[in-house]
Amino acid sequence: MYIYQQKEWPRFRWDPEKLADQLNGVRHRQGRLLGRMEGLGFHLREEATLQTLTLDVLKSSEIEGELLNPDQVRSSIARRLGMDTGGLVPADRNVEGIVEIMVDATQNYSAYLSDEQLFSWHAALFPTGYSGMHRIVVGGWRDNTKDDPMQVVSGAIGKQKVHFQAPDADTLPDEMQAFINWFNTENNLDAVIKAAIAHLWFVTIHPFDDGNGRIARAIADMQLARSDGSRQRFYSMSAQIRKERNGYYDILENTQKGGLDITAWLHWFLSCLERALSATDETLGTVLKKATFWEKYETVSLNERQKMMLNKLLDGFTGKLNSSKWSRIAKCSSDTAVRDINDLLQKNILVKEAAGGRSTSYALRDF
The whole-angstrom separation of Cα 68 and Cα 28 is 34
Contact 270, 192 (CB under 8 A): yes
Residue 357 has pLDDT above 70, yes or no: no
Determine what percent of the chain is predicted with pLDDT higher than 70: 98
Residue 13 has pLDDT above 80, yes or no: yes
Confidence of residue 84 (pLDDT cuts 50, 70, 90): confident
Least confident piece of the model among 64-68, 145-149, 263-267, 351-355:
351-355
Determine what percent of the chain is predicted with pLDDT higher than 90: 81
Mean pLDDT of the 33-55 span: 92
Domain with CATH 1.10.10.10 in the chain: 297-364
Give one DSSP letter per residue of 264-300, joined into a string: HHHHHHHHHHHHHHHTHHHHTHHHHHHHHHHHHTTTS
284 half-sphere exposure, CB direction, 13 A CA radius: 28
CB atoms within 10 A of CB 307: 12
Confidence of residue 315 (pLDDT cuts 50, 70, 90): confident
Mean pLDDT of the 98-112 span: 97
Residue 358 has pLDDT above 70, yes or no: no
Q: What is the pLDDT of residues 140-152, one digit of tens each?
A: 999 999 999 999 8
Domain with CATH 1.10.3290.10 in the chain: 3-284
Confidence of residue 282 (pLDDT cuts 50, 70, 90): confident
Between the alpha carbon of residue 110 and those of residues 29, 57, 151, 174, 209, the distances in Å are 22, 20, 33, 24, 27
CATH class of 297-364: mainly alpha
Q: What is the pLDDT of residues 61-75, one digit of tens each?
A: 999 999 999 989 999
Across the chain, what does the average pLDDT equal? 93
pTM over 0.75: yes
Among 20, 15, 22, CA closest to 260: 15
Confidence of residue 14 (pLDDT cuts 50, 70, 90): very high
> Span 3-284: which CATH code?
1.10.3290.10
274 Cβ neighbours under 8 A, 6+ residues apart: 22, 25, 26, 29
Eight-state DSSP code of residue 364? E
The whole-angstrom separation of Cα 313 and Cα 207 is 47
